[in-house]
Structure 1
Amino acid sequence: AEHPYNHLTDTLDNGRIKFFNPQKLNDPRYDKLPLSIRVLLEAAIRKCDGLYTKKEDIQSILDWQEQQNKAEVPFSPARVLLQDFTGIPAMVDLAAMRDAVAKHGVDPSLVNPRCPTDLIVDHSLQIDYTLKNQEMELIRNKERLQFFKWCSKAFKNVNVVPPDFGAVHQVNLEYLSRVVQLNEGFIYPDSVVGTDSHTTMVNGLGILGWGVGGIESEAVMLGQPVSLTLPQVVGCKLVGSINPLSTSIDIVLGITKHLRQAGIAGKFVEFFGPGVSQLSAADRTTIANMCPEYNATVSFFPVDQVTLKHFKTISDQEKLELLESYMKAIKLFQSYEDPSEDPHYSEVIEINLSSMVSYVSGPKRPQDRVAVSSMKEDFQSCLDEKVGFKGFHISKEKQETRVPFLHCGQEYKLAHGSVVIAAVISCTNNCNPSVMLTAGLLAKKAVEAGLVVKPYIRTSLAPGSGMVTHYLNTSGVLPYFSQLGFEVIGYGCATCVGNTAPLPEAVVDAIKQGELVACGVLSGNRHFEGRLCECVRANYLASPPLVVAYAIAGTVGIDFEKEPLGVTAVGKEVYLHDIWPSREEIQQIEEDTVISSVFKDLGERMEKGNTFWNNIECPDSVLFPWDQKSTYIRKDSWFPSIENAHALLFLGDKVTTDHISPAGSIARVSAAAKYLLSKRLTPREFNSYGARRGNDAVMTRGTFASIKLQNRFIGKPGPKTLHIPSGQTLDVFEAAERYQREGINLIILAGKDYGSGNSRDWVAKGPYLLGVRAVIAESFEKLHKNQLVGMGIMPLEFLPGQNADSLELSGKERFTITLPDSLSPREQLTVKTSQGKSFVVTALFDTELDVNFFRHGGLLRYVARTLL
């Protein structure tokens, strides 16, 4: 059938390239739309098929001023981005779906992603030995890599980026993102949904994109649009001039604080104003990366001259001219010099860039920012305060504890505030050379001044991609990193996901002996308590140069302005300001080293592959030959009214995805460890939950296995719960398994902000496989709520002002939730308990599509039935 919007087609490049031009609608509302909404509109026009995307959807988007937060609209992104942790379950599901449709006589080769899908393998780096990490990663993950290589051959429209090329978000920025896409003679805006929490970084390049769960990404891969309620768009107006001493991280954390306080959860943020032009493309992607930390869906920087300048390093002039012509033709090109071009926004927040000073963030949450100048007194207050989001409640007499220990034949002392982990991680910074070069120059000046880092501190340098190593090496600062102990340990996530190598035994013993609040300092964006290392209670996010500075100081209890960073062998005191590089130095080196060859290097290596990947043998078959003995890859079984359900867990506020989804190393006393031991694996072979994300038996046993899980049934942190019928305290998995044998459905009771944190597929799959069919909470993080719906779990919200305590629920009742024959979005349902009480909850299905997915038992079954 003829496309309903054929009359909007226009041409570029002497008629050789076509595009849909929304300006031909001649609708005055278009010029007032935020640019991020214009991207949604273009995609809706281009994908309008009368089935998934209808003419009414185009009208709803045009009428954004009236329809925001009301109308449900579809969005068909240009591509899907998967990282291996969350990508492998998605690909396992697709492989299992091939088996399922084959059993019904359907050609299994029909099961392919319809939307172009990129899968980046590097995401499971575990720190073992500095020089052997990458080789060991390839060996221990050979089975997974064989599966990935089979996927690259068996599935159409799948591009697998081999190991040893960089972390997913960096490869996305350096290699995959191009602002516009060209396909079959049509040009259109690049856009993406990805299973990595850093997907939002691309918004800094004018590319609309955000993170989704594995279930949602599979639907998009198979041709389903993302369904979203037309969002409010907050205009973030940047004014003022940047302080010369402020790093990009300072700007990032400053904006994060402002936006978090503004209460913008679930909204789009779009930047405008004269201050935007001061930010480089690298600055913008770093800011956009923190989007999940203030719960916005995206932080969008429209394409402008700065964007074009960035792409000059990686694109030829002809493509740049085409890009500029197209973006201007559909009014997606922004000039910050003319306020009359500013769109209309839901609301406007003004931020003065000149107010940004150096901060760190911690000791337990990314939103708790501390000015570096106040760090010493703030840490002291953390020791004094009662246990909470910041406090540790250390008595005055114990605050002076000093514990001596021997390391490599020399005596050292640990105290409260001692730094034992210092990780320069460039996942949030390697797109921004300035901060990494600042850290490198600081290291160089520190070494030249005679400063050292104490050898017991677990230091590491984890570049997000080879680009970082390239420019650090070219600029001459890499050897100085090494002299301070910051060796390159490989490419991929490490310290952020809890894959830090064990601390020296003497250090651990000293921390335990003195009950010390030891500290970790890292330049990532994940640092919840206990995540880096179980015995390290205080963790701070800091810019890379400050990580180096605190490592040299050996403590966070230091006032850099008044106290020396260290003392040289000859007794000279060296202050931080003595070795802090100037912006002029940094900019000069950046210009000299970060050149087009750096960006092109990845493309050249991508074409060649690497010896290990090229030599991997994989099955040459349409269906994957499953190995039932595998502890990495196992075929999932997703294709087979809640009455008298028990509560598996009774949780409080702020339950994060870290508490729910398995991450980091596999504890030797865990249910997952018992399973692996039964498969005759030794603890050394356990690897991490991330590496075994393709095995549901491991991941289900690791669900709710966090040592920080606060279950009110138990009364103390730990992965335990109460099996209510017997009164026994069991591992969460063991209790769930017993409930399933008894044929009892399960629910979870929770407080506010259930499921906050970064997106993970097993955060919904795990509870589903444990038998959970509903979560009743005071409020949900929106993305996690969507994941529950996609997995077939009902998200139910207490009415305003009500919670488990106000309703006097013990959690030990049995719960019955009756569903009507025709369930509607946001319908109120009655929950009855075995104690005779009843209360009303709201079913958080935002759209009819949500209801449809739930009716089919989740999105996977819905897609499979559509194929059949």
Structure 2
Amino acid sequence: MASLDTFGAKTQLRVGDASYEIFKIDKVEGHERLPYSLKILLENLLRTEDGANITADHIRQLGAWDPAADPNVEIQFTPARVLMQDFTGVPCVVDLATMREAVRDLGGDPTKVNPLAPAELVIDHSVIADLFGRQDAFERNVELEYQRNKERYQFLRWGQSAFNEFKVVPPGTGIVHQVNIEYLARTVMERGGQAYPDTVVGTDSHTTMVNGLGVLGWGVGGIEAEAAMLGQPVSMLIPRVVGFKLSGEMPAGTTATDLVLTITEMLRKHGVVGKFVEFYGPGVSAVPLANRATIGNMSPEYGSTVAIFPIDAETVRYLELTGRDPQQVALVEAYAKEQGLWHDPSAEPEYSERLELDLATIEPSLAGPKRPQDRVPLGNAKTLFRAALPDYVQGKRKPVKGPADVASALSFPASDPPANEINDPIDRPRGLMSAATGAKGRPSDPVHVVGEDGTGYELDHGAVVIAAITSCTNTSNPQVMIGAALLARNAVDKGLNRKPWVKTTLAPGSKVVMDYYERAGLTPYLEKLGFHLVGYGCTTCIGNSGPLPEAVSAAVDEADLAVVSVLSGNRNFEGRINPDVKMNYLASPPLVVAYALAGTMDIDLANEPIGEDSEGKPVFLRDIWPSTAEIQDVIASAIGATGFSSAYADVFAGDERWQSLPTPTGDTFAWDSESTYVRKPPYFEGMGQQPTPVADIAGARVLAKLGDSVTTDHISPAGSIKADSPAGTYLAGHGVPRHEFNSYGSRRGNHEVMIRGTFANIRLRNHLVPGVEGGFTVNHLTGEQTSIYDASMAYQQAEIPLVILAGQEYGSGSSRDWAAKGTMLLGVKAVIAESYERIHRSNLIGMGVLPLQFPAGENADSLGLTGTETFTITGVTALNDGSTPRTVRVTTDSGVEFDAVVRIDTPGEAEYYRHGGILQYVLRRMIVS
């Protein structure tokens, strides 16, 4: 679309022998004081000005941005491209395929449904670490992945051929965000003779990893991404921008993980939900790009929309390192300097709020046992673990003696454990079990386990049963990945080994990692400790950790042990990593290796030995921790542009398995009525060309009453499918054997599975059924406890609308569209919460669910709501007049009444809600046009 160019911003930029049309932001008054991120939005508006959605007034308002004001100016942002992973991408393609049929049924041309901007999908969420610690683990896990996901992969191959501008990176290539920064991201786009900033929305909240490369982008729900693919701009308010000034340099022995956990803690404490965070200052140049990507990656963990670094010499160096075309690299530098996007360390842009961090203050850290913002200094890890343990151990503690017992340990003894406890070979976790009462209601001793190789050992609370180098967060970072491998080398040289109960997995973000491991000769050391390659994918961080060894799992279940995972990921929410594991800690890859050697969280790695060498002498972590110089020497010798160029030479082609998959053909997809993976969803059934007027909600019952910090991991189906769950029953009823259930994520293209798994997380606490964990509720029609799915079906059959009551930060976590889709399909018409995380609130509106907020300072409990009431919500019909009411009236049959704040924040969101959802809105506009 041609810009109206009211400001005369259109001009030419010459780079080498090429010339590009650009839109100069310096034509807008006020541009020079804007933060980097808002300059990118300003260019976006200049280039897409159409006089309707994007007007000259919008551009002037952005130029006149008031950093002190609360967001109140709506703009329409048009991302340059859309990025997807397969869990969230499959339902996007399913919806596009369904839209083609809906357009055809309403008399339109189905082939007009195509992405209008580049849309790229990376298959990275489906591999499960079933096999580990063996040479053929990768090959066998990939085989199992294809067996489980054949239908999905065939569907995606159809989509790649049926839709224009849609590309798929096949399985076994890498993690979406690492593939993005290493290959897909342009930093500056070149398209149709124009050059403009690379911007992106992605169907995964960690899309923000690309912020480290100077690319403005963030996670959106799948439904928003679909609309963006179809040419719909993203409606947003000009945000507050938090300036985060960096100074100094990080101390030796600290890692990017330590840095990002510190930043996460700081920003969560400060409060940045819905804001842009922008790093600036003299310390920026001291932050390698891989560290910048790590910081950007964890933006969702501290709640900001983005966490961006500006373009500078380090950006250009990274583009060269990763094998980008020289003309592209030259364009990035020339464009950034021409547009005032090149970082000036001395500049002080205007910001809404400011924070500052001296990088020299960073210390080794973990985060856990259940939230990424709960930073734990490594030196305090043992003490804080012991303090948290009672929350995870059922029953009462019996009186015991000795400093190793929980009773005394939890009172923080001043003395260290006895020497014999420190120095004996650490072949079992510290003695914590004796102080706890097991699930069977009796005092228990550590559980004796016999492993598959016949080795016997003791399992206790705090045992590290999973040590996983995984996730996009750190596996893009050569400093920490090389650091982990060098630590493994040093440990092997000392005669150390992992503990036999630890499941060790290595899942790099791209093939480049294994290339530089091989070049440096470090792979054998990792494998000696059990860190064999298990796959190129997210694995453990998204719940694809695979089963624990049978003997370990049985012991954990029998004694109800509070065991631990340590992973180099970004998410450690309850119930996410593995159903057997209650406590989860985030750590750098080197610390993951260290905890695999220790085998327990009940150890002070700063002061206690991690094991014994071949001569029986104690070995401390400091003895095997690699120096910064060692790491840099290996990076200099083993990593270069040829490794990246080779890994991405034919990235969309795939291996023989991918190429040999039978691929369906045709403009519309031939749905298989027997498929349990891909089914046509019901979103457009009975849809007319005009929307039905919005109605008030009457006679609604509460499906769930929830507390604070309920994440999309609690709401959205994720992880393994239990045999006795509604989803398991459905699959069994369709002839699927238990061992082929796969995961919820892999079945996101089947709404029948997903609706049955919504609110089914094993750690969900619904206050309607106190003392019960999991997807259960009370059916108010019968008074019986039942599954949330079964209750929903009963209510829908009786034509009774439903509401959800919730606390603060409702919907924090991953940008999972199914948290909203499942909510809608369960018959929920409104959610009333104390506060929302940005993405989930937007997604609810996108599915036609009304997000409401309790009055300031109030919540369900303070208002006396028990969840047994019948609710009526009036004033919603005001939306039919084209306006959005600030509040609506909520009344109950118990006499409680209050005005709930309507969290439809922009006119665009109101339009989506009037149409019943964003896809219905887009589809109707498509028919008209």
Q: TM-score category by the smaller chain?
A: over 0.9
Q: Does 1:51 align with 2:52?
A: yes
Residues 16-55 of structure 1 mapped to structure 2, 5 A cutoff = 16-25=18-27, 27=29, 29-55=30-56
Per-residue CA distance 1:737-757 (angstroms, 9 max, x = gap): 111111111111111111111
TM-score (norm 2): 0.90
Q: For the structure 1 residues 533 and 316, does the alpha-carbon distance in structure 2 shift closer, same or farther, using more than 3 Å as the test?
A: closer
CA distance in 2, matches of 1:500, 1:392: 28
**Is the 1:422–1:521 Cα contact (8 Å) retained in structure 2?**
yes
Specify the alignment match of 2:901 in structure 1.
842
Specify the alignment match of 1:820 in structure 2.
877
Q: For the structure 1 residues 394 and 792, does the alpha-carbon distance in structure 2 shift closer, same or farther, using more than 3 Å as the test?
A: farther
Specify the alignment match of 2:98 in structure 1.
96
Q: For the structure 1 residues 561 and 107, does the alpha-carbon distance in structure 2 shift closer, same or farther, using more than 3 Å as the test?
A: closer
Aligned match for 2:889, one of 790, 805, 830: 830
Residues 180-191 of structure 1 mapped to structure 2, 5 A cutoff = 180-191=188-199
**Is the 1:382–1:392 Cα contact (8 Å) retained in structure 2?**
no
Aligned match for 1:72, one of 74, 79, 84: 74
Aligned match for 2:585, one of 540, 562, 580: 540
Q: Does 1:688 align with 2:743?
A: yes
User: How far did residue 824 of structure 1 move?
Assistant: 3.4
CA distance in 1, matches of 2:284, 2:116: 37
Q: Does 1:622 align with 2:679?
A: no
Per-residue CA distance 1:49-103 (angstroms, 9 max, x = gap): 1222121211111111266511011110100001110011111011001111111
**Is the 2:471–2:570 Cα contact (8 Å) retained in structure 1?**
no
CA distance in 2, matches of 1:4, 1:329: 22
SS at match of 1:646: strand
Specify the alignment match of 1:405 in structure 2.
449
Specify the alignment match of 1:381 in structure 2.
387
User: How far did residue 8 of structure 1 move?
Assistant: 1.4
Specify the alignment match of 2:926 in structure 1.
867
Aligned match for 2:678, one of 633, 636, 650: 633
**Is the 1:383–1:393 Cα contact (8 Å) retained in structure 2?**
no
SS at match of 2:283: helix
Q: Which amino acid aligns with 1:810?
A: T
CA distance in 1, matches of 2:667, 2:25: 45
**Is the 1:247–1:435 Cα contact (8 Å) retained in structure 2?**
yes
Specify the alignment match of 1:697 in structure 2.
752
Specify the alignment match of 1:330 in structure 2.
339
SS at match of 2:20: strand
CA distance in 2, matches of 1:395, 1:280: 51
Count of aligned positions: 861
User: How far did residue 13 of structure 1 move?
Assistant: 2.1
Specify the alignment match of 1:672 in structure 2.
727
**Is the 1:288–1:298 Cα contact (8 Å) retained in structure 2?**
yes
**Is the 2:467–2:567 Cα contact (8 Å) retained in structure 1?**
yes
Specify the alignment match of 1:759 in structure 2.
815
User: How far did residue 394 of structure 1 move?
Assistant: 5.3
Q: For the structure 1 residues 569 and 406, does the alpha-carbon distance in structure 2 shift closer, same or farther, using more than 3 Å as the test?
A: farther
Q: Which amino acid aligns with 2:710?
A: V
Aligned match for 2:708, one of 643, 646, 653: 653
CA distance in 2, matches of 1:434, 1:252: 14
Q: Does 1:749 align with 2:805?
A: yes
Specify the alignment match of 1:467 in structure 2.
512
Specify the alignment match of 2:442 in structure 1.
none
Specify the alignment match of 1:83 in structure 2.
85
Specify the alignment match of 1:312 in structure 2.
320
Q: For the structure 1 residues 65 and 377, does the alpha-carbon distance in structure 2 shift closer, same or farther, using more than 3 Å as the test?
A: same
User: How far did residue 513 of structure 1 move?
Assistant: 4.2
CA distance in 2, matches of 1:52, 1:615: 45
**Is the 1:16–1:185 Cα contact (8 Å) retained in structure 2?**
no
TM-score (norm 1): 0.97
Q: For the structure 1 residues 178 and 672, does the alpha-carbon distance in structure 2 shift closer, same or farther, using more than 3 Å as the test?
A: same
CA distance in 2, matches of 1:834, 1:484: 63
CA distance in 1, matches of 2:58, 2:710: 35
SS at match of 1:605: coil
User: How far did residue 761 of structure 1 move?
Assistant: 0.8
CA distance in 2, matches of 1:755, 1:392: 31
**Is the 2:471–2:538 Cα contact (8 Å) retained in structure 1?**
no
User: How far did residue 24 of structure 1 move?
Assistant: 4.7
Cα RMSD over matched residues? 1.8
User: How far did residue 196 of structure 1 move?
Assistant: 1.2
Specify the alignment match of 2:443 in structure 1.
none
User: How far did residue 853 of structure 1 move?
Assistant: 0.5
> 268-277 or 812-821: which moved more?
812-821
Specify the alignment match of 1:247 in structure 2.
255
CA distance in 1, matches of 2:596, 2:847: 44
User: How far did residue 835 of structure 1 move?
Assistant: 3.1
CA distance in 1, matches of 2:460, 2:552: 11
Q: Which amino acid aligns with 1:785?
A: R
SS at match of 1:333: coil
Specify the alignment match of 1:783 in structure 2.
839
**Is the 1:826–1:846 Cα contact (8 Å) retained in structure 2?**
no
Q: For the structure 1 residues 54 and 798, does the alpha-carbon distance in structure 2 shift closer, same or farther, using more than 3 Å as the test?
A: same
Identity %: 47
CA distance in 1, matches of 2:53, 2:822: 30
Q: Which amino acid aligns with 2:3?
A: H
Per-residue CA distance 1:357-379 (angstroms, 9 max, x = gap): 00011111111111111112222
User: How far did residue 564 of structure 1 move?
Assistant: 1.4
**Is the 2:118–2:166 Cα contact (8 Å) retained in structure 1?**
yes
Specify the alignment match of 2:349 in structure 1.
343
Q: Does 1:296 align with 2:304?
A: yes
Residues 212-251 of structure 1 mapped to structure 2, 5 A cutoff = 212-251=220-259
User: How far did residue 474 of structure 1 move?
Assistant: 1.5
User: How far did residue 316 of structure 1 move?
Assistant: 3.8
**Is the 1:113–1:155 Cα contact (8 Å) retained in structure 2?**
yes
> 419-428 or 149-158: which moved more?
419-428
Specify the alignment match of 2:4 in structure 1.
4
**Is the 2:23–2:46 Cα contact (8 Å) retained in structure 1?**
no
Per-residue CA distance 1:450-481 (angstroms, 9 max, x = gap): 01112221111111211111111221111111
**Unpaired runs of at least 5, structure 2:** 132-136, 407-431, 435-445, 687-695
**Is the 2:759–2:775 Cα contact (8 Å) retained in structure 1?**
yes
**Is the 1:825–1:844 Cα contact (8 Å) retained in structure 2?**
no
SS at match of 2:474: coil
> 836-845 or 310-319: which moved more?
310-319
Per-residue CA distance 1:237-260 (angstroms, 9 max, x = gap): 011221011111111111111111
CA distance in 1, matches of 2:521, 2:471: 18
Q: For the structure 1 residues 426 and 585, does the alpha-carbon distance in structure 2 shift closer, same or farther, using more than 3 Å as the test?
A: farther
Q: For the structure 1 residues 426 and 671, does the alpha-carbon distance in structure 2 shift closer, same or farther, using more than 3 Å as the test?
A: closer
> 734-743 or 820-829: which moved more?
820-829
SS at match of 1:524: coil
Q: Which amino acid aligns with 2:807?
A: G
CA distance in 1, matches of 2:501, 2:864: 51
**Is the 2:296–2:307 Cα contact (8 Å) retained in structure 1?**
yes
User: How far did residue 831 of structure 1 move?
Assistant: 1.2
Per-residue CA distance 1:109-142 (angstroms, 9 max, x = gap): 0111112111112211112232400122122211
Residues 249-268 of structure 1 mapped to structure 2, 5 A cutoff = 249-268=257-276
Specify the alignment match of 2:474 in structure 1.
429
Specify the alignment match of 1:453 in structure 2.
498
> 559-568 or 207-216: which moved more?
559-568
Q: Which amino acid aligns with 2:711?
A: T
**Unpaired runs of at least 5, structure 1:** none
Per-residue CA distance 1:7-56 (angstroms, 9 max, x = gap): 211112279533333345262x1100001000001011101112221212
User: How far did residue 310 of structure 1 move?
Assistant: 1.0
CA distance in 2, matches of 1:373, 1:598: 38
CA distance in 2, matches of 1:302, 1:725: 57
Specify the alignment match of 1:740 in structure 2.
796
CA distance in 2, matches of 1:147, 1:394: 54
SS at match of 2:304: coil
SS at match of 1:182: strand
Per-residue CA distance 1:491-520 (angstroms, 9 max, x = gap): 112111222222233323333444432111
Specify the alignment match of 2:784 in structure 1.
728
